[in-house]
Structure formats: C-alpha cells, structure tokens
A and B are shown apart, each in its own frame.
Chain A
Amino acid sequence: MNSADPYAGERLKLSPFHPRQRELNIRDAWSAWNGYKFADYYYDAEYEYFCVRNTCGTYDICPMQKYEIRGNDAEAMLNRMVTRDVKKIKVNRVAYCVWCTDEGRMIDDGTIFRLANDRFMLTCGSPCNAWLEKSAFGFDEVQVADITDRLAALSLQGPTSFAVLQAMGLAGTESAKPFDILTLPFHDDTLMVSRTGFTGDLGYELWIKPDLALRLWDELYAAGGDYGIQPYGEAATNMARLEAAFIMPAMEFNEALRTVNFEHDQTPFELNLGWLVDFKKPHFSGRRALLEEKRRGPKYTLTKLDIEGNKPADGSYIYSNRRCTQEVGYVTSAMWSPAVKANIALAMIETKYLQGELWVEIYYEKELRQYSRVVKCTQKQKPFWTPARARATPPPNY
C-alpha cells in the first residue's frame, strides 16, 4: 500500500454490498457489527420497517458469522454441540438451533444449513471460532472453516419478496418451503437461496460469492423497483423481530461465554426454547444440566406481553400487583407495534408468578418532564406477528 494508514487494522471492514448501500444510506447512520460497517438505518427506521411489513426490504447479513463444517464426523460433532437432533436435518434444509455450556446456559443461537451429508454451514450472530474449535477436538474427520468473508449474504424480507425473486427469473423459488435451500444458476456460478429470515414474515436469504454480490444487488433492485424494495438496517430489523418474538443477544439473552455473574445467562427453557432441546438424543453438551433444569422448571420464563396504553415499556420492571410491591421480572424488549397495533414487549418473568397478574411500571418523558404509570400486562402465547403467507407454499405473488 502506498498511503500508509496507521489505523488500517482498526478500520471497519466493508461488506461486498457496501458500494450500493453507501449510496442509499442518505443519513450516514452507520454502526458496526462483528467488525463490519453496518447500517442502523438508511433513511428512516420506521419507513424501512413499513417496507418490510408492506413491500420488501434487504438487510445485509454479511457480518453474520458463517462457518463451514465438513467431514465424515461433521454431523456427530454438531450433534454433540447443539441441543437439536442434527440427524433429522435433511440435505438442503435449515434448522434453528441453540448451543449451551456444560451447565446448560445458552452460548448462542443460530442456523444450521445441511448442504450435503457431510457438509454443513452454521451461522450465528457472534464469533464462535473458539467454541467450534473446542467442539471439534477429538473428532478425527471434521474440518471447521470460518467462511464469513468468503460468502456474501443478503436477507430479502417482506410480502413482495417472492414476487421480486420471480421477477428476477429465479425459477424454483415457488416450490421452496420454509427452511428449504435452493441452489440456482447465476451467471455461470451459483446463487444459494434459503427460505429463512429474522422478521417472522415471508422472506429469503441469498448467499453468493463476494465478487458477484453487486451483480446480485443490481438485478434484485432492478426487479424490485415495482415492488417497493428498500434497504433496511438494524433498527427496523429489531422492530420486526420483536413482533415475531425472536430473541436477540444482549437483549433477551446474555451469551453464556461472556457472562461473568452467576446465572446472569439463560437456559433454553428460560427463553421458551425448550422445543429445541431433544432429550431423545442420548447425549449432547449440557444434556445432564438441561434435564435437571427441565425437571426443576426454569426459574425465569421469557414471556410475550400485550401492555395497556401506548407507552413502550423499555427497561421496565414487572410486578405481581398494581402497588408494585413484588418485583417479578424485567422487560427485555418493548415497542409500540404498528403492524399489530399493540403495545408489545418480551419480558423475563419468574416462572412461579406467571399464573397471577402482571403489572408494569413504565417511565416516559414528555418535553423534559418524567412521568410514570403502572399498567396491566396480558400474556400472549403466540408471536405477535404471524401472517399465513410466511408459511404458504407457493407463497402469494403480489
């Protein structure tokens, strides 16, 4: 390099989609994710959220960590690491998984793509290299490679997402069921399409070599012009995922390997993810501890709340009575949901109090004055946002 940049190693990496995203990020609202420059929003978070719910949007998931795990022992290695039964994941299918410490505390969640009998891709929000290395030790035939920089990925989410793929001429997407993987020809190379996402709505994730990333972007935006395509950032993602009741690290759960205080991390049962823990598997890491947790019942349970009024309950405590004398939990994420038209929240609540009333004390500000109110919460069993199109195959072509 001619121009010696003294901070070269410190600067944020640029995603393969960055040249286009830079043009569209008219607010210059950048933050960072795993060392990549990453948009909080491009124009307006609420606007982008409405695009995701009403038309479609693209969300750059290049910074998400991606690992290729291959070899004759790859299945056994992953099966011991995650709580779900990896044997049941068929080739060209994706499964949402969690993995835990020996004590059954959740390290992270992510998705496992089965690309062949002996080849998988694991994606997750935070770097997982060290845990994967530990997990692979002792298996003779398994190779783990961090392919984060070798694979560009773009999430296309929203009701018109299928229509955009059709308009692009990507044949076969009509028969892709949720969690299916398609490998399609793309300019003498391949484009991998998975019917997955983080918005709870119809959507896809597109996986491609970095040098074809801009070509994919351009074709997608050319086809998507009539379908309201718009890039969206972290802020809109966070709104959409909360409506879908998906958990976020550092919000709903504290990654176990980064947790210092005793049991300030969570178990899958506390996060309502007991359905991911397959005790029919004779062994997986944390099985003994989780069996005990299941027997004893989780101390906390992540609960979906519909809250009276319209003031978001961010950071609020939950009480078992209106007088707020017995604190029983805390809100992890909250918002006014435009799509559901409800004041929604996820909260960690002591399981033994779930049978009784739940009240939340909300603090809010109006022109520099602080106000508070105590309002009632109603528990919801289903995610707040679950449109039928998210599951329909073929999906509606708007």
Chain B
Amino acid sequence: MRRSWWRVGGKGLLFAAALVWLAPYLWMVSTSFKTLPEIVAAPAYPLPSSLQWGAYEEVFSTIAVGRYLLNTLVMATAIATLQIALALPAGYALAKLRFCGRRAAFLSVLACLIIPAQVTFVPVFTMLGPLGLIDTMAALVLPFAVSAFGTFLVRQAMLAIPDEIIEAARLDGASEFTIVYRVLAPIVQPTLAALFLFSFVFHYSDYFWPLMMTTSDDVRTMPLAVALLREQGTGVRWHIVMAGNVVLSLPILALFAVTQRRIMQAVTARALS
C-alpha cells in the first residue's frame, strides 16, 4: 500500500516537472503565432486563433536574420574548431612529452580556468580598440581560440593512450605534427566531439562577449539581434519577440535533439575528470 502511494507521488512529481519545463516553451511558440489584437484582448489565452505567420514575417523584415545567423554560425564554428586544433598539440605535449617547465605550463593552463570573460572584457576592449579590432570577427573569435578547459580535457584523454603507439609512429617516420593530428586525434575523437559540441553551443548562445565587442551590425550575432527586438519600437509586441526567440532557439534545440547524449557527456566530463 505504501509503495503504491510512493509511486503515484513520484509520477505526479514527474508530470509536474515536465509541465514546468515544457509549458514555457509551448507558451513561447503559441504566442509567436498570435496577432497583436489577440494578445491585447486575451493575453493569457493559451492558443492562437490559427497559425498566423505575421510575427515571423515581421522578424525577418525588421532584422537581417540570415546575416545574423550566418555571423553566429561562423563565429561559433571558428571558435570550436580553433579550440580543438590548438588543444591537440598542447594536450599532447602536456600529457606525453618530458621537458623542462612542463609542470609550470600545466599549472598555468589550470590557472586560466579561473579567469572568466567577465574579468577580461574591460582590458581586452581597451586593448583591441586602438588596434581597430572592435566590431570585427577577430574580436569575437581570437580571445576564445584556446579553451583552458578544452586543453585540460584533451590532455586527460591523451594520458590514457599507450606510449607504444607514439613510438611506433615515430619509427614509421611520422613527424610530431602527423602524430598529433593523424594518429592521436582519431583516438581521442569522442573527447573532441564533446568539446566541439559544448563549445559550439556555448558560443552560439553567448550574449556577453558579442555585446561588449560589437558596436554596429556588421558582425552582430543572433542573440544580440533578438534582444534588440524587444528594445526597439513602441510598446512591447510580444508575438514578435517570441517569434524571434523561436528563430534563435530552434537551431540549438534541433542540434540538442540530435546530439543530446554527447552534450550531456560533455557537461558531466568536467565533473568526472
């Protein structure tokens, strides 16, 4: 008897949790298909009278969605790719090679883990200004070309690789470059995939850094553009803001739906390493 009560209570909580996390999304989508008169007349009514695409048309006509999305994708892809390309050689040297200063180098990488963008943005902004780099893709990508955490993760993965593999490759005449990118990279591929996804998702959604480093539309990213939808115009036209929100979130939710397990692994990797 007690057991079944536990079970009913558990199911009830489960249902409540699903509702708390899904209802806001459904509300966002529902609002985006409404018209302004509908929202004014009955703001809390759950459903639009029909699927009206007016808010989406407005989003696409007021902001250059294509360009913002392209900027965002280019930035996030460039960052994730660079992080992997640079973490591989560094991780290899830190995990496998004997050299003077190795421990200091490793500790410096770890030390950078505690320096977030929120600490560096003021000095980096004043550093890049005189160089004419504010408002360029370089200002968005270069500061994140290396991830201290990524370097650490790749180093941990490399530790598990037997030395014999590297020695054999050397005997075959492989250069260190070949060993890093052709021999070791495929072995640590799961780590690289997790790192790429995590970094891509983080930077696609990032608002902080692009807000600080851009002043015009040229390299502005999607989160900034959507946030501006709310700030411009008279009164808040929530159907348009929510339509912008759907456009912003859909690509990342779609990516998440496909790679859910990998992304969750990337998040837990930090806890387990």
Partners in one complex: no
Partner-B contacts on A (CB < 8 A): none
